[in-house]
């Protein structure tokens, strides 16, 4: 079979906010109860829904602050912006300590802790392989790279080749070719940042979303938990698998079905197993994680997708993580929920 590239340039979220059918208007004033802000950043779209913006605050000021936070995060963390703080570190061929901002240092430090925790399933040094497999800023490929090239490039990866010393704050690479990719964490992290802005403005009810990674607080206009649709993992078209309630929590979904190429009847997705240097190849099609922090949920959804449905659920149960897998089986799509997911997440 010929290879087909089915990799969308614009990444579409795997989880969607279910549209509110209620008109959310205020009682005795003309000020609407609900407002929505949206835009495009990080190769995807973002939206913020706010209910009952405190008196004295206004939409334009809120929008400016939210947008500035997203732009700042992107300028710091993106591998698609050549001048980002991260790309400046990536390009430096130095193997001594390189000064970075407190924030970038602490993000890398957190990511390294998550690598330790997941036995390397989550690994931000996987960047050279992401690029080699055609899922990075250099563009797509239509067939797997040569095996010796995978081996050569893979030799420069591994989270132990990267260190963070946030007392300085600085980062250090073990070799000049180490290259950091924060794409599996950046959106969730930025969702948390935007949530903190809303918390500081004392907004009691909101939903923040960047490319399908979310964080909700309080309730929606109908007085219920925010309703979030988890997509059925289909290569073409879109449909809803299930709807969950989200309140005072972050949520992220990673899937193998939105950003991939197909060659010789096999799917190669943008999630790389750092242990094999190849894209994941098991039956797990998507993972949704619900957690206090959207950043943690984002990274953990990627890690669990790498671990696959069996090891992933076992890991989630051991660490009390709320995780929901969609798995392709001969009998169709199957759901697997961790114990924490059963306890903590309501299905609407």
CB of 165 to ligand ADP, least distance (A): 21
Instruction: For residue 133, state whether it binds ligand ADP (rule: CB under 6 A).
Output: no
Task: Pick the piece of the chain touching Mg ion (CB under 5 A) from 44-52, 65-73, 254-262, 270-278.
Answer: 254-262
Shorter beta-carbon distance to ligand ADP: residue 141 or 184: 184
Binder of ligand ADP out of 84, 110, 157, 183 (CB under 6 A):
183
What is each CA distance from 73 to 77, 81, 193, in whole angstroms? 6, 11, 9
What is each CA distance from 319 to 54, 149, 291, in whole angstroms? 38, 36, 12
Laid out side by side, the sheet with 332-337 consists of: 34-41, 44-51, 205-210, 213-217, 249-255, 284-291, 322-329, 332-337
Shorter beta-carbon distance to Mg ion: residue 45 or 142: 45
Query: Is the Cβ–Cβ distance between 338 and 289 less than 8 Å?
Result: no
Binder of ligand ADP out of 16, 86, 107, 126 (CB under 6 A):
126
Shorter beta-carbon distance to ligand ADP: residue 222 or 276: 276
Task: Round to the nearest angstrom and report the end-to-end CA distance of the chain.
Answer: 42
Q: Residue 172: which H helix or E strand, with range? A: strand 170-173
Task: Pick the piece of the chain touching Mg ion (CB under 5 A) from 45-53, 93-101, 143-151, 249-257.
Answer: 249-257
Q: Residue 326: which H helix or E strand, with range? A: strand 322-329
Q: Report the site for ligand ADP in 248-287 (rule: CB under 6 A).
A: 254, 259, 270-272, 274
CB of 205 to ligand ADP, least distance (A): 25
Q: Which token pair is 66?
A: 């939210």
Binder of ligand ADP out of 77, 221, 251, 306 (CB under 6 A):
306
CB of 305 to ligand ADP, least distance (A): 6
Whether the bond into 27 is cis, omega within 30 of 0: no
Where on the chain is the footprint of Mg ion (CB under 5 A)? 184, 254, 298, 301-302
């Amino acid at each position: 079979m010929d290879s087909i590239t089915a990799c969308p340039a614009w990444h579409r979220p795997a989880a969607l906010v279910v549209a509110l059918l209620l008109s959310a208007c205020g009682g005795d004033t003309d000020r609407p109860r609900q407002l929505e802000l949206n835009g495009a950043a990080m190769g995807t779209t973002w939206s913020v829904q706010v209910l009952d913006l405190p008196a004295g605050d206004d939409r334009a000021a809120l929008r400016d602050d939210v947008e500035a936070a997203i732009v700042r995060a992107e300028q710091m963390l993106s591998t698609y912006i050549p001048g980002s703080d991260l790309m400046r570190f990536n390009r430096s061929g130095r193997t001594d300590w390189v000064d970075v901002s407190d924030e970038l240092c602490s993000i890398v430090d957190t990511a390294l802790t998550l690598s330790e925790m997941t036995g390397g399933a989550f690994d931000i040094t996987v960047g050279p392989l992401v690029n080699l497999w055609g899922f990075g800023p250099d563009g797509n490929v239509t067939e797997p790279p040569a095996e010796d090239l995978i081996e050569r490039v893979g030799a420069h990866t591994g989270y132990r080749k990267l260190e963070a010393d946030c007392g300085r704050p600085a980062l250090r690479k073990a070799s000049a070719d180490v290259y950091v990719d924060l794409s599996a964490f950046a959106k969730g992290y930025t969702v948390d940042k935007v949530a903190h802005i809303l918390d500081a403005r004392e907004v009691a009810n909101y939903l923040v979303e960047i490319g399908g990674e979310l964080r909700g607080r309080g309730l929606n206009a109908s007085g219920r938990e925010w309703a979030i649709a988890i997509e059925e993992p289909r290569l073409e078209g879109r449909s809803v698998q299930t709807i969950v309630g989200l309140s005072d929590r972050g949520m992220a979904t990673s899937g193998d079905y939105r950003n991939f190429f197909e060659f010789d009847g096999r799917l190669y997705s943008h999630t790389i197993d750092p242990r094999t240097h190849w894209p994941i190849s098991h039956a797990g099609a998507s993972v949704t994680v619900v957690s206090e922090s959207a950043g943690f949920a984002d990274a953990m959804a990627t890690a669990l997708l790498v671990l696959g449905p069996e090891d992933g659920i076992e890991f989630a149960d051991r660490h009390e993580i709320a995780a929901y897998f969609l798995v392709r089986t001969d009998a169709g799509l199957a759901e697997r929920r961790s114990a924490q997911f059963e306890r903590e997440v309501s299905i609407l």
